[in-house]
Amino acid sequence: MFLWDKIVFGPIQSRRLGSSLGINVSPTHVKVCSFDCIYCECGWTLEKSMDPHLFYSVEEISAAIEAKLRQCKENHTPIDSITFSGNGEPTLHPQFVQIIDNLIVLRDKYELGTAITCLSNATQLAKEEVSSSLKKIENPILKLDAVTEPLFQLINKPTIPISVEEIIKQLQQLNGNFILQTLFFKGEIDGQFFNNAAASHLSLWMDIVKQLHPRKVMIYSLDRNTPAQALEKISMEKLQEIAQEVQKMGIEAMAY
């Protein structure tokens, strides 16, 4: 599996975001996440303590971001998105709020108009400071791979006490001001077969999407190596069909 070895990486060409400058606020030697998703390119979540001392400081992160933004500006390197991604869940950083505030200042100084994106699993939305910070940026992209508890536990394997019902409830508090992302795939894990694009689950997922009414839905399938074996991607044709059904509800949707 793959771990980023820097705080700032890229820009890299993203299927969804264009030229994306990556920001990794997690440690570079270990993945720190509130999920242990069976498909994660960073591998299994081996570190579950979430000790604040594991993380880079705000000062280190801001200095690395400024150095890279300055370099990109000097080299006329285009950036479409400054994207929180990396080795785990970015909103777990104990000073996530300050990191966002600092980044907005730096973005306005070097790359005014460039979108700030955060790829998040939405497990920290109950913290007012986290949800408020995500509201400050252009692209809060929040994960919802399953809408039933058994499938949520099977696919996302949370490492903290949280249910998919709680996550959906917190997403509702955003009043649609976010981008929803779902990875559709199928396979076998722990002796159980699953397919989150199957009609029975897809119907429930559609109902939740309608309730949440995000400003955009991004759907995609497997594209990289996964820690769990026996996983299969969903065809682009099927993804496009799902996107079309979402569009019928008056919600922008794209398959990648």
CATH assignment at residue 221: 3.20.20.70
Residue 77 inside a domain? The answer is yes
Instruction: Check pLDDT > 70 for residue 1.
Output: no
**Tell me, what's the pLDDT at 53?**
76
Residue 2 inside a domain? The answer is no
Residue 206 burial (CB < 10 Å; 0-12/13-18/19+)?
Answer: middle
Cis geometry, peptide bond prior to residue 11 (ω within 30 degrees of 0): yes
Total domain count, the chain: 1
Residue 3 inside a domain? The answer is no
Mean pLDDT of 3-31: 91
Mean pLDDT of 162-176: 98
Residue 185 inside a domain? The answer is yes
pLDDT tens, residue by residue, 191-227? 999 999 999 999 999 999 999 999 999 999 999 899 9
Instruction: Check pLDDT > 80 for residue 48.
Output: no
Give residue 15's pLDDT band: very low, low, confident or very high (50, 70, 90): confident
Residue 126 inside a domain? The answer is yes
Residue 229 inside a domain? The answer is yes
Find out whether 140 and 179 touch, Cβ atoms under 8 Å: yes
Residue 1 inside a domain? The answer is no
Mean pLDDT score across all residues of the chain? 95
d(CA 27, CA 4): 9
**Tell me, what's the pLDDT at 47?**
76
Considering the chain, what percentage of its residues have pLDDT values greater than 70?
99
Secondary structure element (H or E) that encloses residue 255, with its range? strand 252-255
Q: Which of 37-51, 57-71, 237-251 has the lowest mean pLDDT?
A: 37-51
60-90 b/e (C-beta count within 10 Å ≥ 16 → b): ebbebbbebbeebeeeeeebbbbbbbbbbbb
Q: Which of 60, 87, 69, 62 has its CA nearest to residue 10?
A: 69
What number of helices (H) and strands (E) belong to the chain? 7, 11
Residue 108 inside a domain? The answer is yes
Give the domain range for residue 110. Answer: 8-255
- Quickly count: other Cβ atoms within 10 Å of residue 10's Cβ: 21
**Tell me, what's the pLDDT at 91?**
97
173: DSSP letter? T
d(CA 12, CA 117): 14
